[in-house]
Amino acid sequence: SGLRSFSKLMLNSFWGKLGQRDNLTKTSIINTPNEFFKIMFNSPGVIVNNILPINQDTLLVNWENREEAAVEQPTVNVSIAAYVTAQARLKLYSYLELLGERVLYYDTDSVIFISGEGLPEPSTGNHLGDLTDELLEYGEGSYISEFVSGGPKNYAYKVITPNEENYTTCKVKGIKLSYKTSGLINFESMKNMVLDKTREPVSITTTNFRRTETHKVVIREETKCYKVNSLKRKFVDLESVPYGYKKKPRS
C-alpha cells in the first residue's frame, strides 16, 4: 500500500504540473527605489496587486503578469491534463453502467452501491488504478447497513462487522469533524435532515489558524452553516432524477 500511495502522489503531482495555470501571482522583495519604480512604472506587462511595507528599507510587492504578457511554462499541456480526467470519467461511467440503479452515491474515484448475491460487481485489486474495498479495514465480511447522503461530498453510513459491532462514518467536505462538531453533525442528524425531520441548518463554530495580510498567524473562531443540498437532481419516490427528466410510460 505504501508503494501504491507513493505512485499516486507522484502521478497527481505530475498531472498538476501539466494543468497548472501559467499566470500565477508572484512576490518580490524590494530594497531600492530603482527596483520599486521599475516594477511600478516601467513594467507595462505587470499588474501590482498589493504592497506591504516590512520596514523603512523593505517592501513586499505582490504582482502578476497581464494576460497578454504571461509567459507560457514548458511543463504545461492542458490537452494532456484534460485527456487524463476525461479517461477517468469514462472509467467511472463503466462502473455506473455495470451497477445501474444499485448505485447510491459516487464521486470522482469511488462508488457506493447495493450488493447482492449473484449480482455483478466491479473487481478490486491492489495495483495502481484498481478499486479497493474500504470496508476491509473493519474486517472481512463487514457491510454497510444504512447509508445517507446530504449532497456531493456529504454522506454518512453505518457499518456492521462479523462480530456484530457497529461503527458509523460521517464525511462532510469543508468541516472538520472533531469530537465537538461530531455531536452536531453525524449519521443521525444527517439522516433526520434528509428525511425532513429536521429542516433547520446546523451552525458549526470552529477555531482555526489563519494568516493575516501582514503575515502574522492568528487564531480565529469561524462559523459555518451546514445543511443538506441537492442542486443537480430532484427526488421522486425515493429516486433521484435530473431536472427536466420525463419517465417514459411503459407500453
Q: For residue 194, is it within any domain? A: yes
Q: For residue 217, is it within any domain? A: yes
Q: For residue 228, is it within any domain? A: yes
The helix (H) or strand (E) run that includes residue 93 is: helix 78-99
Structural domains in the chain (count): 1
CA torsion angle 88 231 172 121 (round to 10): -40
Residue 195, Cβ density class (10 Å: 0-12 exposed, 13-18 middle, ≥19 buried) = exposed
pLDDT tens, position by position, 162-186: 999 999 999 999 888 888 889 999 9
pLDDT, position 251? 65
What are 165's three cell numbers? 459491532
Q: For residue 53, is it within any domain? A: no
| Residues of the chain below pLDDT 50 | none
Q: For residue 104, is it within any domain? A: no
User: Residue 152 in 3-state DSSP?
Assistant: coil
The range of the structural domain enclosing residue 213 comes to 133-251
Q: For residue 61, is it within any domain? A: no
Q: For residue 164, is it within any domain? A: yes
pLDDT, position 73? 86
Q: For residue 187, is it within any domain? A: yes
The pTM of the full predicted model, rounded to 2 decimals, is 0.81
Nearest to 152 by CA among 175, 132, 166, 173: 173
Nearest to 186 by CA among 106, 143, 178, 103: 178
